[in-house]
Structure 1
Amino acid sequence: MIKAEKLSYSFPQKDLYNKISFTLEDDVHCAFIGTNGTGKSTLVDMILHPDNYLYDGRLIVDVPGRIGYVSQFYSLDEEKEVTVFDYLSEEFVRLQNEINTICDEMATADELDELMERYQNVMDQFQAIDGDFYESNIRKQLKIANLKDYENHLLTNLSGGEFKLIQVIREMMISPKFIIMDEPDVFLDFEHLNALKNLINSHKGTLLVITHNRYLLNHCFNKILHLENAELQEFDGTYVDYNFALLEMKIEQQELAAADMEEIERNRKIVERLRNEATKVDSATKGRSLKARVSLLERLEARKTKSPFVDIKHPQIELHTSVKSSDDVQGDVSGQTDTDVTISEERTEQNHEKVILEVENYSVTFDRQIMEEVTFSMEAGGKVAIVGPNGTGKTTILRDIYKNNNPAIKLAPDLKIAYLSQMHGEVFNEKETVLKNFEDAGFETEAEIVRYLKTYGFEEELVYNKVENLSGGEKNLLQLAKISRMDADFLLLDEPTSHLDTYSQLALEQAIEKYEGAVLMVSHDFYTVANCMDYVLFVEEKKLRKMSIRKFRKMIYADHFDKNYLELEQKKKELENRISFALQAGKFEEAGKYCDDLEQIINQM
């Protein structure tokens, strides 16, 4: 259906693809992955609109009917007061009306050939999307998405997550052969994410889905396209199997790279010795030996083992706070008495017991009551997630805490707060360059900004781009880079993992775990919530109910996973960490043994 052969494409300042090749056959469900900013959305747009691009190589798009597309961003016409059922029926009704119009024209027409051709063409379109059974098919799809009672609801009354699922259903019905989805999971709550998983798995046609969502990746796809460092890897199999194959390749590549470096270092020493001898003795023989050895060294360095899928950029996210960490306290104890150390430890403990936020009888009302008399408090250093369905006021309470102008909310005095927003325009001037947006971040020179942003994965050419031209994941990383410069005591994070690639998600989780300040996070990413939060405030009946992470895990995994999945996932993560540590220490044989154990775990998943 789709075939690329040695496809190359570049922006003025960046090579996106370097002779990449892949094939998408009938009925595969393919996940399209890669770090933020690698050009996934551009490649999708190239498939949808190939005539808009000047590229090298071949791109063959041979798809019967229209190509369906679900954007990562959704827009709903507020004037469109139609029901869910009518919205999903629009294309079928349009074709039915066209068929009826042609039939009416046939009754009075003298020349039927052209009308018969039009009639057959429209009938082919109608039958290609199973038009005779569209009403029952709509109800079937709504049931799969757990929206069976929604057919008479107005579109304008749906939450963002509900409307996203309706969009997916619509494209699956009117474009059954081939659909592209660009991060369809962004901002979906747990129930809607599970519904999206069911829709993907029940679809009979070909799907190409850009996603960083670990739940969907682990449960929905039988083919992987991985775009990294301008090159593409094609893998027939599940994401779990692909990750394991990538890890095996990493062990092999790093072992070969270590051997290469050992040989290079040995030859460097020989070159150095020959140079020293050549300066002492004027000898043509020694000069030729030196030249030959330098040439060999250059060849070794040029062909040393490297792989774009092993050398994947990982952002170095660090969240700083003005609160003095326990590590800093330990670092300052030289020259102190035992009593001084005890007092320092007590002061650190007291700091973490300090209440920094009190919410009492907080309520939110839009067209209906969303939150009612919500009461909770937070201590310094606490890590708390607000979790619940779409449209229940989670973002609103986070914004109200940040604005600090609601009498139901009290913040500790002199508390330094930083806010990560779903709406990037609230934080950045998107019409300005990345560089311009960091001029107030405490840097003395432009070079300092460039060096700093490089640690977050932004190459120099991106620093001079306008923020509006960045991908969603890059914009989120940019917010995190700005936040880390603020030395805030309290972070308010609204869907911080949205759009982030899996490597950035893991880096953020590690940064949150190390952060000494307090975090209040709205998130639908249950991996991040379960991995680095102290407890959850769960939205239930317009209130926030405190829930332990253990109970949260139990609730989520009971709804979404097989009985032993949580235990197997934890063992898998532990083995992956052990392999990582073994590779860092150069213990390749040990890493290989752990890899054998990991394969057994994966086979059980």
Structure 2
Amino acid sequence: MNIINMSKLSKSYTGDLIFEDIKYDLNEGDCVGLVGRNGEGKSTLLKLMAGIEVPTEGQISWQKNISIGYLNQLPQYEADKEIYECLSEVFKEINHVSQKMKFLEDEMANNADDLERLLKQYGALQETFEEIGGYERDTLIRRVSHGLKIEQLLNQTWGNLSGGERTKVGLAQILLQQPKLLLLDEPTNHLDISSIDWLANFIKQYNGAVMIVSHDRYFLDETVNQILEIDQGHLHIYHGNYSYFVKEKEARIIREFEAYQTQQKKIKKMEDSIKQLRLWASQAKPPNAAMYKRAKSMEKALNRIKRLDKPVLENKKMNVNLTEGQRVSNDVIEFKKVSKMYEDILFEDIDLLIRRKEHVAIIGNNGTGKSTLLKMMMHQVEPDDGEVHCASNLRIGYLSQHTFENIENQTVIETFRDVVHVTEGQARHILAQFMFYGEDVFNKVESLSGGEKMRLRWAQIVNQDFNVLILDEPTNHLDIDSKETIEEALLEYEGTVIAVSHDRYFLNKLFDITYLLQDKQLTKYEGNYGYVKEKLS
């Protein structure tokens, strides 16, 4: 049964068309992934489905009394409100009945003469409380909090939470609501791998319909049974998971290109025939009216043909060509019995050895010390115990997940030229290869999106001679096309790559050595993320 029907939807902002003529029915039980390049309108389509925005043209209708859960912005609470109380607000009916029960409990304790009537009322409320899931409320809050790793936040106040923590609390609220339609926009942001695994299992068991906007290919493979792609303003539907979509999209584009070529040949043949008929008609003595008429008839038939758009075989992408700088010695970085402590022990007595040309991933839950390990490799953080040895001729290219956060009042081209010493003309040429075109190079860095900041940092890295790349969440904020471009460049890179990432697709594709940081210990596995997961299962 349809829960949402979209008919010929179009959406524009200030005259700029985002997408057009979208037709789609979302059914009960569907779990759908919505993909497309940044700027194609994925989040806009979610807002239309949530009823937050209205289409420029077309209609959207919902099943009567449908409940929709959508985290479109961070919830707002008073700074001193505890997180457990924030989550409990989801259960309005349960809370209302619970308050009535507590009132009756006080009445029964103080009014023995009317006990029989009060007990009868209390019994009826107790039945209602059970029917609406009152006794499962606290268990469900604990379950979702544990899965999203926010248990330690439950007794904290809203004002003490970071933006990422508030986002996770907002996600927890939506999951606790258990609406008939769940709209999730990049739900894996701020989650570590174990939390992403938990969320995937939650979605697979979910009774309602789910629509997910995500650039996490592994997550989409695990959860969805249908992919919607917005491409060049049009919607394409694929009945399978992400891997199915990749294969079927390639086949679709080939079919469309063949159909386009066939039509172009037919049009060319008709145009040549019309031209020839007109030439013959004009050369005849006297001019041949029948030939003119035939040419006119053929021209009308030609004009009636619905022209196929030429398929875009490849979208514009970054041009990333990584080269290894000065050759580094064989043992690149070594840790011997290294320990680090802040308020608590992060890790202790860990060993690590990274050799030239190795691609090494470091995985683990949030807060275990992965980023601290990377900073030790660059001598930004010193160990409390143990030794860190780095090759003497190391030239490290570092990409942080918080890149350019503290840059103010500087343009893209100024920031690029701070570290890459080229002329303005050369800089503009290079930046165009990273999709900063024309006047884009004069935009302020502080106004850039997360994906644009990542592209700018990659532009800096590619144009310097590094022999080791240290990458902290390098695929964050990038759309799938950009991720694939980075992956292909790193596969061909002959230098050493060390990365911390929660992107399991990226981890499986690029890294054949994986270190797991867990329970204050660092364990080495000669394999990718999938190998580690299999070993631990």
What band does the TM-score fall into relative to the shorter chain?
A: 0.7 to 0.9
Say whether the 8 Å CA contact 1:225–1:233 is kept in structure 2.
yes
Corresponding residue for 2:186?
A: 183
Aligned partners of 1:362 and 1:372 also within 8 Å: yes
Q: For each residue in 1:416-461, what CA deviation from the matched residue of structure 2 results, as whole angstroms up to 9, or x when unmatched?
A: 22222212334755x6554453343444235x55544443445557
Say if 2:398 is the partner of 1:419.
yes
Match of 2:91, SS state, is helix
Matches within 5 A, 1:317-336: 317-321=319-323, 323=325
SS in 1 for 2:191: coil
Give the direction of change, closer, same or farther, for the CA distance of 1:134–1:421 in structure 2 (3 Å limit). Answer: farther
Measure how far apart 1:31 and its partner are. Answer: 1.2
CA distance 1:439–1:354, shift in 2 (3 Å) = same
Matched, 1:210 2:213: yes
User: Who is 2:223 aligned against?
Assistant: 220
For residues 61-102 of structure 1, the C-alpha deviation after alignment (integer angstroms, 9 at most, x for no partner) is 66737632346989999855555xx55323326863488579
Q: Is the 8 A contact 1:404 1:411 kept in 2?
A: no
| Unpaired stretches in structure 2, ≥5 consecutive residues | 108-127, 277-286
Is contact 2:71–2:184 with CA below 8 Å preserved after alignment?
yes
Q: Which moved more, 1:4-13 or 1:29-38?
A: 4-13
Count how many residue pairs are aligned between Structure 1 and Structure 2: 496
Offset of 1:235 from its aligned partner? 4.1
Percent identical among aligned pairs is 27
Q: 1:367 aligns with which of 338, 343, 354?
A: 343
- Asked if structure 1 preserves the Cα contact closer than 8 Å seen for 2:328 and 2:391, the reply is no
SS in 2 for 1:511: helix
Q: Who is 1:501 aligned against?
A: 479
Cα displacement string for residues 196-225 of structure 1 (whole angstroms, at most 9, x for unaligned residues): 111111221222211122222112123322
Q: 1:193 aligned to 192, 196, 201, which one? A: 196
- Which residue type is aligned with residue 390 of structure 1? N
- Secondary structure of residue in 1 paired with 2:184: strand
Distance in 1 between residues matched to 2:191 and 2:102, nearest whole Å: 44
- Aligned partner of 1:306 in structure 2 is 310
Out of 35, 38, 63, the position equivalent to 2:37 is 35
Query: In structure 1, the residue corresponding to 2:197 is in which secondary structure?
Result: helix
Give 1:12 shift: 5.3
CA positional deviation for 1:226:
1.1
**CA RMSD for the aligned pairs?**
5.0
1:187 shift after superposition:
4.5
Match of 1:553 in 2: 530
Change in CA separation of 1:178 and 1:381 when aligned onto 2, cut-off 3 Å: same
Structure 2 CA distance, aligned partners of 1:300 and 1:542? 71
> Equivalent residue for 1:393?
369
Distance 2:260 2:310 in 1: 7
Correspondence for 2:416 among 438, 446, 460 = 438
| SS at 1:91 equivalent | coil
The corresponding residue for 1:333 is none
Q: Which has a greater percent of helix?
A: 1
**Other structure's SS at 2:45 match:** helix
CA–CA distance in structure 1, aligned partners of residues 73 and 393 of structure 2: 38
Residue equivalent to 1:384: 360
Change (3 A) 1:16 1:438: farther
Q: Which residue of 1 aligns with 2:70?
A: 69
Aligned twin of 1:315: 317
Q: CA separation of 1:370/1:77 partners in 2, compared to 1, >3 Å: closer, same or farther?
A: farther
Match of 1:246 in 2: 249
> Partner letter of residue 477 of structure 1?
R
Residue identity in the other structure for 2:23: S
Give the Cα separation in 1 of the matches to 2:190 and 2:360: 18
Distance 1:63 1:472 in 2: 38
Q: Go from structure 1 to structure 2 and tell me whether the alpha carbon gap of 1:391 and 1:266 turns closer, same or farther (over 3 Å shift).
A: farther
User: In 2, Cα distance between the equivalents of 1:391 and 1:455?
Assistant: 36
Shift of 1:262: 6.9
Deviation at 1:522, TM superposition (A): 0.2
In structure 1, the residue matched to 2:490 is 512
Deviation at 1:151, TM superposition (A): 6.4
1:318 to partner: Cα distance:
2.0
- The residue type paired with residue 375 of structure 1 is D
- Verify the 8 A CA contact 2:217 2:242 in the aligned structure 1: no
- Which structure 2 residues correspond to residues 117-196 of structure 1 after superposition, within 5 A? 132-136=132-136, 138-139=138-139, 143=143, 147=147, 154=154, 156=156, 167-196=170-199
Residue 158 of structure 1: how far off its partner (Å): 11
Q: Alignment partner of 1:438: what SS?
A: helix
> TM-score if structure 1 supplies the norm length?
0.66
Q: Which amino acid aligns with 1:96?
A: N
The amino acid of 2:234's aligned partner reads E
